[in-house]
């Protein structure tokens, strides 16, 4: 099957996980990542961390493919997930690079398409992490303002939720996809390493991953500090209650001794 010289590639986060072990591998055009032919001039690549990448497949056909064929392999399907699109142009006499919304490719070999799909899938996954951490930042910002005014938070529920979001995102980053590691495909096609490094740089995978780790650490530290202050305030309040009870008990004892006894 031959792709046209100009087409659209679209990566979409469709589920929390795609159960690739249930996908019939014998129907695949290539493995690691799994690439399947679709129609007369299209491909779809699937990744275990929940991203599908469509090559030269119209939007309506993509939706039909997701709903009628791929959904059976989804673990926790997602609607309205992050996505990215690029226009692909074959230009064998030009430098391979991303220019705006277009990428120039030297050829349309299967390994080159697999590398492009993997980088776009990782970029979409990073975009999902970034959105989740941004929401956590919105929750943490008021806490930071209160800490600056030497005022602690009033409840721990929001703090625990913020810490949980940060930890879940960090867990996903470690467990779902190592976005900064070179694809296994490069072990077999070392000639594509320069192509991969170009894409990694253009999509800023390393920089975005590093920034995410810093943000996760900041969110966790801020929320944990605020939670510790909340616990300290509650402990101090309990200590004051105990002191008051002791004073009341002493007063009652003295009352019994001097008033009733007299």
CA-based end-to-end distance of the chain: 109
Instruction: Kindly report, residue by residue over 71-84, the tens digit of the pLDDT.
Output: 999 999 999 899 99
Instruction: Kindly report, residue by residue over 22-54, the tens digit of the pLDDT.
Output: 999 888 999 989 999 998 889 999 999 999 999
SS3 98: strand
SS3 69: coil
Whether 70 and 160 map to the same domain: the answer is: no
SS3 117: helix
CA separation for the pair 209, 213 (Å, rounded): 6
Whether 83 and 191 map to the same domain: the answer is: no
Q: For residue 52, give the DSSP letter.
A: E
Place 204 in a pLDDT band, splitting at 50, 70 and 90. very high
**Closest by alpha carbon to 13, among 159, 167, 143, 130?**
130
| C-alpha neighbours within 13 Å on the C-beta side of residue 224 | 10
Given 74, 109, 144, the domain boundary residue is 109
Q: Is 138 exposed, middle or buried, given 0-12, 13-18 or 19+ CB atoms closer than 10 A?
A: exposed
CA separation for the pair 46, 21 (Å, rounded): 11
Residue 121 has pLDDT above 70, yes or no: yes
* Pairing verdict, β 97-99 and 83-90: unpaired
Other C-beta atoms closer than 10 Å to the C-beta of 213 total 13
Q: What are phi and psi of 247, to 5 degrees?
A: -60, -45
| Cα 184-6-15 angle, rounded to 5 deg | 50
Place 176 in a pLDDT band, splitting at 50, 70 and 90. low
Q: Is residue 1 part of a domain?
A: no
SS3 97: strand
Residue 178 has pLDDT above 90, yes or no: no
Given 109, 144, 159, the domain boundary residue is 109
Q: What are phi and psi of 7, to 5 degrees?
A: -160, 175
Whether 128 and 101 map to the same domain: the answer is: no
How many folded domains does the chain comprise?
2
The pLDDT of residue 135 is: 73
Place 89 in a pLDDT band, splitting at 50, 70 and 90. very high
| C-alpha neighbours within 13 Å on the C-beta side of residue 167 | 9
The pLDDT of residue 2 is: 78
* Pairing verdict, β 83-90 and 102-105: parallel
The pLDDT of residue 100 is: 85
Whether 122 and 99 map to the same domain: the answer is: no
Whether 45 and 76 map to the same domain: the answer is: yes
Q: What are phi and psi of 17, to 5 degrees?
A: -155, 145
Whether 86 and 203 map to the same domain: the answer is: no
SS3 32: coil
Residue 67 has pLDDT above 80, yes or no: yes
For 10: left if phi > 0, alpha if psi spans -120 to 50, otherwise beta; the answer is beta
Rounded to 10 deg, the angle between the 205-255 and 157-175 helix axes is 150
Place 112 in a pLDDT band, splitting at 50, 70 and 90. very high
Q: Is residue 175 part of a domain?
A: yes
CA 106 to chain centre: 31
Place 107 in a pLDDT band, splitting at 50, 70 and 90. very high
Per the structure, the complete domain to which residue 199 belongs is given by 118-260
Say what the pTM is: 0.76
Residue 13 · residue 20 · CB < 8 Å: no
């Amino acid at each position: 099957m031959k792709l046209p010289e100009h087409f659209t590639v679209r990566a979409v986060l469709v589920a929390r996980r795609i159960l690739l072990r249930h996908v019939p591998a014998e129907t695949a055009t290539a493995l690691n990542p799994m690439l399947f032919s679709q129609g007369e001039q299209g491909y779809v690549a699937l990744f275990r961390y929940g991203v599908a990448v469509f090559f030269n497949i119209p939007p309506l056909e993509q939706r039909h493919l997701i709903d009628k064929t791929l959904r059976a392999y989804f673990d926790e399907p997602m609607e309205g997930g992050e996505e990215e699109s690029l226009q692909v142009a074959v230009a064998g006499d030009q430098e391979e690079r991303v220019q705006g919304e277009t990428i120039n490719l030297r050829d349309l070999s299967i390994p080159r398409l697999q590398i492009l799909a993997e980088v776009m899938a990782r970029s979409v996954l990073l975009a999902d992490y970034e959105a989740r951490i941004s929401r956590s930042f919105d929750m943490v910002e008021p806490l930071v303002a209160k800490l600056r005014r030497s005022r602690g938070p009033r409840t721990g529920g929001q703090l625990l939720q913020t810490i949980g979001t940060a930890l879940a995102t960090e867990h996903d980053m470690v467990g779902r996809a190592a976005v900064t590691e070179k694809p296994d495909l490069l072990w077999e096609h070392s000639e594509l390493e320069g192509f991969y490094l170009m894409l990694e740089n253009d999509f800023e995978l390393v920089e975005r991953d590093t920034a995410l780790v810093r943000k996760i650490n900041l969110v966790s530290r801020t929320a944990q500090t605020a939670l510790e202050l909340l616990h300290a305030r509650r402990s101090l309040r309990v200590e004051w209650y105990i002191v008051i009870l002791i004073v009341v008990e002493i007063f009652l004892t003295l009352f019994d001794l001097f008033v009733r006894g007299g």
